[in-house]
């Protein structure tokens, strides 16, 4: 569809009149946003309907990506870009007297996720549509997204994220597609005359799952897929059971918040119900769709793939079994074969404490039929494999043990594919964490290194660089991220090198402005912008970063005229509300910032800026302005990481341990163009095996570490009596779980190396260029194409569209 500026302007004026009964010149940015959103929706409406019809009539195999988190951020600009009308709309608005950016600011971030996991799901949605792949998302429409973070006296305070307050222009409520979901009560199996068993439910409850669909617009390819999020309602038939306000509220709480507080029983019940709720609604609606195709159920895997993103949707396995057994009357063997062929699973963590488990009693109480089926899957698994493997191995891999249901085990046993998210991660799964499963199912394991949607993380968020790329290597990189490689030809071109630096400078000026507005801290765009943005977690080691900053501070205090490259250390991070250690680190960074930023001796050589409320939109502001990308997790702990990819794509130099995808980044750019430090994964495991890590010893041997750590407990950093002691104890008394002290010296040397490289201006520019040129490899487009071919067996649809266009 060709949309001209003229048509667009007329449409805006007309619709504003209809919706708000006013002239466009009187409209507020908020009103303009809503009208613009609804206009944009009409631009993809036909393609959305058509895409779905094509899938149906051509019986295209589709994948359904089940994820308890999606983190798309704002969608207006992304939709405009993907529709190919970003410039038309921007210019049209300018002519009407408005700025697109002001209007864009009105949109609230859709933050239905915590961090990497949800962001990955959203990058995949963008890439699946942009690659013309038939795929849909399936998740939960939380009334409140991830909390809004504020700092009060340096402490994190959590405020509700009321993202739906002004309505959500993008979603379409589809009442007619609602699904009933059953939970609670008792179930027993009643034999029928023909010998089959039929479940009879007593005292169970029904809730209504109503889908809200959001268009996932492909990049200039006419493909529009669907993200389907489910919201809970009370079914008309059950109205009488919910008499009191309390009863209703309890039910409505089900899709109220992302991560109910799981430190209490009530929160845990809600969480498990949430998982079943979106799984059951999703799988039921998929089977309903499949039945429309009039094909034998045994061929389901030729039409449907279901992806289990982390273990939260692992109940897809028993739910599919339930439907096939109880509602479609298949035999166990038939149902199991179909289920395993349809399902695939991604593991996102190696930390065993993060592997999800549910107490048997809770599962039995809330989801009795699910529990029966899981028990039977477990029983058959044990029976089948105990013939071939030792009893211990079977015991370690079975689903139900020690009174708990092990969700990862369920997902692996019930699917045909288990993948890790970076080479190192997958190797660790095969060799250590899931080794027992690898012995039984070697063919099921595979790697799919994570990726990012380069459209959002470069085209939209870094226009100065994007324009420079267009000028230097033409525009094909916008369609084919691998073409960024063409930039490599300019590695000796002084004009291009300085232009890259100028683009970066421009972005740094913009970020400095934002920092001034939001924190009142003045930073110089000539300083090194050293960025660590990610969830606050002990394993990610924001603490290591802080220890180094303190070391620099004490160096300055000891030698007031010390020559050093000025640095701005920028943090963005939320801590889980119940994670007190992570909150202590936030408080300590904030107090250290107060101390250093206001110390006249420092003379602007050091600044610490901790920006509030890290989210996708803030990431889009920070990343284009970053010089240094801090990826300093303890080797073996970060499954992949994706902010490492976003930052390299924007020309930041990576300062990293050999962890997650950092290893693949090093391989892509070459070891001269990345700064690596710290223990390797083998060295970390050697400590585990020998059990000889000794943090106290390291402390006692290093005057520098003593000086830095003592600052936590001797009042040097003010107002952290409690937090400082907690952190100090974690290192010294509890032996430093993430080897922060062991990597400290190596990290300081690496930081020194960063400074030297930065001082060699041309060298720095070249490294920056090489990072950009080699970031195409980490496009999520490639990642989803690998999933499509190896795991889902789905094919792009626009092969034929291209011909008919």
CA-to-CA distance for 610 and 314, rounded, in angstroms? 37
Q: Tokens at residue 356, please?
A: 């999800």
The answer to whether 624 contacts ligand PLP (rule: CB under 6 A) is no
Which residue shows structure tokens 């939380």? 142
User: Is-catalytic flag, 88?
Assistant: no
The answer to whether 662 contacts ligand PLP (rule: CB under 6 A) is no
- Specify whether the CB–CB gap between 535 and 545 falls below 8 A: no
Cβ-based nearer residue to ligand PLP, 150 or 196: 150
Cβ-based nearer residue to ligand PLP, 631 or 768: 631
Which residue shows structure tokens 């020998």? 690
CA-to-CA distance for 411 and 544, rounded, in angstroms? 35
Taking the complex as a whole, how short is the minimal distance between the CB of residue 465 and ligand PLP, in angstroms? 18
Vertex 229 angle, CA 226 and 232, to 5°: 150
Taking the complex as a whole, how short is the minimal distance between the CB of residue 741 and ligand PLP, in angstroms? 23
The answer to whether 641 contacts ligand PLP (rule: CB under 6 A) is yes
- Specify whether the CB–CB gap between 119 and 79 falls below 8 A: no
Which residue shows structure tokens 């692992």? 314
HEC-encoded secondary structure of 528-552: EEEEEECCCCHHHCHHHHHHHHHHH
Q: Which one from 642, 654, 657, 783 is the annotated catalytic residue?
A: 642
Torsion of CA 669, 673, 679, 681, to 10 degrees: 0
Contact region with ligand PLP (CB under 6 A), list: 287-295, 368-376, 636-644, 702-710: 636-644
- Applying the rule CB under 6 A, the residues between 99 and 128 that interact with ligand PLP are 115-116, 119
Cβ-based nearer residue to ligand PLP, 134 or 641: 641
Contact region with ligand PLP (CB under 6 A), list: 301-309, 642-650, 703-711, 739-747: 642-650
Q: Bridge partners of 233?
A: 208
Taking the complex as a whole, how short is the minimal distance between the CB of residue 426 and ligand PLP, in angstroms? 17
Q: Radius of gyration (Cα) for the chain, nearest Å? A: 27
The answer to whether 757 contacts ligand PLP (rule: CB under 6 A) is no
Taking the complex as a whole, how short is the minimal distance between the CB of residue 687 and ligand PLP, in angstroms? 24
Which residue shows structure tokens 């002990």? 538
Taking the complex as a whole, how short is the minimal distance between the CB of residue 115 and ligand PLP, in angstroms? 4
Taking the complex as a whole, how short is the minimal distance between the CB of residue 572 and ligand PLP, in angstroms? 8
Cβ-based nearer residue to ligand PLP, 44 or 571: 571
Contacts of 753 (CB under 8 A, 6+ apart): 675
Q: Which helix (H) or strand (E) holds 656?
A: strand 653-656
Query: Which residue of 590, 613, 643, 783 would you call a contact of ligand PLP, by CB under 6 A?
Result: 643
- Specify whether the CB–CB gap between 124 and 65 falls below 8 A: yes
Taking the complex as a whole, how short is the minimal distance between the CB of residue 130 and ligand PLP, in angstroms? 18
Say how many Å lie between the first and final Cα of the chain, rounded: 11
Taking the complex as a whole, how short is the minimal distance between the CB of residue 652 and ligand PLP, in angstroms? 12
- Applying the rule CB under 6 A, the residues between 577 and 616 that interact with ligand PLP are 615-616
User: Is-catalytic flag, 534?
Assistant: yes
CA-to-CA distance for 624 and 614, rounded, in angstroms? 15
HEC-encoded secondary structure of 277-333: HHHHHHHHHHHHHHHHCCCCHHHHHHCEEEEEECCCCCCHHHHHHHHHHHHCCCCHH
Cβ-based nearer residue to ligand PLP, 32 or 586: 586
Cβ-based nearer residue to ligand PLP, 458 or 616: 616
User: Is-catalytic flag, 537?
Assistant: no
Contact region with ligand PLP (CB under 6 A), list: 359-367, 400-408, 602-610, 641-649: 641-649
Vertex 366 angle, CA 364 and 372, to 5°: 35
Neighbour-count burial of 567, counting CB atoms closer than 10 A to its CB (0-12 exposed, 13-18 middle, 19+ buried)? buried
The answer to whether 534 contacts ligand PLP (rule: CB under 6 A) is yes
User: Is-catalytic flag, 535?
Assistant: yes
| 91 Rama sector, left if φ>0, alpha if ψ -120 to 50, beta otherwise | alpha
Cβ-based nearer residue to ligand PLP, 410 or 628: 628
Query: Which residue of 542, 642, 716, 751 would you call a contact of ligand PLP, by CB under 6 A?
Result: 642
Query: Which residue of 207, 251, 335, 619 would you call a contact of ligand PLP, by CB under 6 A?
Result: 619
Taking the complex as a whole, how short is the minimal distance between the CB of residue 73 and ligand PLP, in angstroms? 7
- Specify whether the CB–CB gap between 440 and 367 falls below 8 A: no
- Mask: binding to ligand PLP, 381-400, rule CB under 6 A, as x and -? --------------------
- Specify whether the CB–CB gap between 9 and 96 falls below 8 A: yes
Q: Which one from 456, 646, 777, 782 is the annotated catalytic residue?
A: 646
User: Is-catalytic flag, 646?
Assistant: yes
Taking the complex as a whole, how short is the minimal distance between the CB of residue 765 and ligand PLP, in angstroms? 25
- Could you give phi then psi for residue 180, rounded to 5 degrees? -90, 135
Contacts of 396 (CB under 8 A, 6+ apart): 436
Cβ-based nearer residue to ligand PLP, 72 or 313: 72
Cβ-based nearer residue to ligand PLP, 40 or 619: 619
Q: Which one from 208, 456, 534, 537 is the annotated catalytic residue?
A: 534
The residue among 113, 70, 225 whose CA lies nearest residue 788 is 225
Total site size for ligand PLP, rule CB under 6 A: 12
Q: Annotated catalytic sites, by residue?
A: 348, 534-535, 540, 642, 646
Q: Which residues lie near ligand PLP (CB under 6 A)?
A: 115-116, 119, 534-535, 615-616, 619, 641-643, 646
């Amino acid at each position: 569809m060709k949309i001209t500026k003229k048509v667009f302007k007329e449409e805006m004026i007309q619709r504003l009149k209809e919706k708000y009964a006013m002239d466009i010149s009187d409209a507020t940015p908020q009103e303009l946003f809503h009208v613009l959103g609804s206009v944009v929706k009409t631009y993809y409406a036909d393609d959305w309907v058509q895409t779905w019809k094509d899938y149906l009539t051509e019986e295209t195999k589709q994948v359904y990506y089940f994820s308890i988190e999606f983190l798309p951020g704002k969608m207006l600009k992304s939709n405009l870009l993907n529709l190919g009308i970003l410039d038309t709309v921007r210019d049209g608005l300018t002519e009407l007297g408005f700025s697109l950016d002001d209007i864009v600011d009105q949109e609230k971030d859709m933050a239905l996720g915590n961090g990497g996991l949800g962001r990955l799901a959203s990058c995949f949605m963008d890439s699946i549509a942009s690659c013309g792949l038939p795929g849909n998302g399936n998740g939960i429409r939380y009334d409140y997204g991830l909390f809004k973070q504020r700092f009060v006296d340096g402490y994190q305070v959590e405020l509700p994220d009321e993202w739906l307050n002004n309505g959500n222009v993008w979603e379409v409520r589809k009442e007619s597609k609602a699904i009933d979901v059953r939970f609670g009560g008792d179930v027993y199996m009643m034999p029928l005359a023909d010998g089959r068993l039929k479940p009879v439910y007593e005292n169970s409850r029904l809730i209504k799952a109503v889908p809200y669909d959001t268009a996932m617009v492909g990049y200039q390819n006419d493909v529009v897929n669907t993200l389907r999020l489910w919201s809970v309602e009370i079914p008309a038939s059950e109205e009488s059971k919910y008499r009191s306000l309390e009863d209703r509220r309890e039910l409505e709480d089900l899709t109220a918040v992302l991560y109910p507080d799981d430190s209490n029983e009530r929160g845990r019940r809600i969480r498990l119900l949430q998982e079943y709720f979106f799984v059951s609604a999703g799988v039921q609606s998929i089977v309903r769709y499949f039945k429309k195709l009039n094909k034998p159920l045994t061929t389901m895997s030729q039409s449907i793939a279901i992806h289990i993103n982390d273990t939260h949707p692992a109940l897809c396995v028993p739910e599919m079994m339930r439907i096939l057994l109880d509602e479609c009357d298949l035999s166990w063997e038939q149902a199991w074969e179909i289920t395993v062929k349809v399902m695939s699973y991604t593991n996102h963590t190696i930390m065993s404490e993060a592997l999800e488990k549910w107490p048997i009693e809770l599962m039995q109480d809330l989801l009795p039929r699910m529990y029966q089926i899981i028990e039977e899957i477990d029983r058959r698994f044990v029976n089948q494999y105990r013939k071939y493997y030792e009893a211990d191995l079977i015991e370690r891999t079975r689903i139900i043990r020690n009174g708990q249901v092990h969700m990862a085990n369920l997902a692996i046993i019930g699917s045909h594919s288990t993948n890790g998210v970076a080479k190192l991660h997958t190797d660790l799964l095969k060799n250590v964490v899931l080794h027992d499963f690898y012995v039984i199912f070697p063919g099921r394991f595979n790697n799919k290194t994570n990726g990012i949607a380069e459209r959002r993380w470069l085209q939209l968020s870094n226009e100065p660089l994007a324009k420079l790329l267009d000028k230097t290597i033409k525009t094909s990189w916008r369609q084919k991220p691998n073409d960024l490689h063409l930039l490599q030809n300019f590695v000796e071109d002084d004009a291009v090198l300085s232009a890259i630096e100028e683009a970066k400078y421009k972005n740094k000026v913009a970020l400095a402005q934002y920092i001034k507005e939001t924190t009142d801290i003045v930073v110089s765009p000539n300083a090194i912008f050293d960025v660590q943005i990610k969830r606050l977690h002990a394993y990610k080691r924001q603490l290591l970063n802080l220890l180094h900053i303190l070391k620099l501070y004490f160096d300055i205090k000891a030698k007031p005229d010390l020559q050093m490259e000025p640095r701005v250390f920028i943090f963005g991070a939320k801590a889980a509300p119940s994670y007190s250690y992570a909150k202590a680190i936030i408080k300590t960074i904030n107090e250290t910032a107060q101390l250093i930023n206001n110390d006249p001796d420092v003379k602007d050589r050091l600044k610490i800026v901790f920006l509030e409320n890290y989210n996708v939109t803030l990431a889009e502001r920070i990343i284009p302005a970053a010089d240094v990308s801090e990826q300093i997790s303890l080797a073996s702990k970060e499954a992949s990481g994706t902010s490492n990819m976003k930052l390299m794509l924007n020309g930041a130099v990576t300062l990293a341990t050999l962890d997650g995808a950092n290893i693949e980044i090093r391989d892509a750019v070459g070891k001269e163009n990345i700064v690596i430090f710290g223990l390797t994964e083998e060295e970390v495991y050697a400590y585990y095996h020998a059990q000889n890590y000794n943090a106290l010893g390291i402390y006692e041997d290093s005057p520098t570490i003593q000086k830095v750590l003592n600052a936590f407990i001797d009042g040097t950093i003010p107002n952290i009596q409690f937090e400082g002691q907690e952190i100090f104890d974690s290192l010294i008394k509890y032996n430093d779980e993430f080897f922060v002290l062991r990597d400290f010296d190596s990290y300081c040397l690496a930081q020194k190396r960063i400074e030297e490289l930065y001082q060699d201006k041309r060298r720095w520019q070249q490294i920056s260029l090489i990072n950009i040129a080699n970031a195409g490899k980490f496009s999520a487009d490639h990642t989803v194409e690998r999933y499509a071919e190896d795991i889902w067996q789905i094919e792009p649809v626009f092969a034929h569209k291209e011909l008919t266009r």
